[in-house]
Amino acid sequence: METLLKADIFFFISSVSSVILTIFLCIVLFYFIKAGKNLYKISEKLQNHFYESEEFVLDLKERLENNMIFRLFFPPARKRNREKKDNK
């Protein structure tokens, strides 16, 4: 009889601990999924801003290349084909 009582206590404690562990894992998984969604939103925003800044930089480059004062201080690069022919 005593062994049956000990087995009942063991199974009761095991079932309670497995329920508590399952609840804890569900809570952790919930926060993990929530953090993953936040990281996805942040990466989407960063990617959109990257494309916007890329367009801005390309537009700025075009305006600078067409600017007379900029060309005065930074003349356009000469073609390297001439340098290669001179070295041979």
The structure's pTM equals 0.52
- The answer as to whether 85 is a domain residue is no
Domain of 57, in residue numbers: 2-74
- The answer as to whether 83 is a domain residue is no
Show the DSSP H helices in the chain as ranges.
2-65, 68-73, 80-87
- The answer as to whether 49 is a domain residue is yes
Model confidence pLDDT, tens digit, residues 28-77: 999 999 999 999 999 999 988 888 888 888 888 888 888 888 888 888 77
Count up the domains in the chain and report the number.
Answer: 1
- The answer as to whether 45 is a domain residue is yes
pLDDT at 5: 85
pLDDT at 83: 58
Residues 6+ apart with CB under 8 A from 70: 64
- The answer as to whether 67 is a domain residue is yes
- The answer as to whether 81 is a domain residue is no
Amino acid, res. 83? E
- The answer as to whether 84 is a domain residue is no
Residues 6+ apart with CB under 8 A from 65: 71, 76
- The answer as to whether 39 is a domain residue is yes
Maximum Cα–Cα distance across the chain: 105
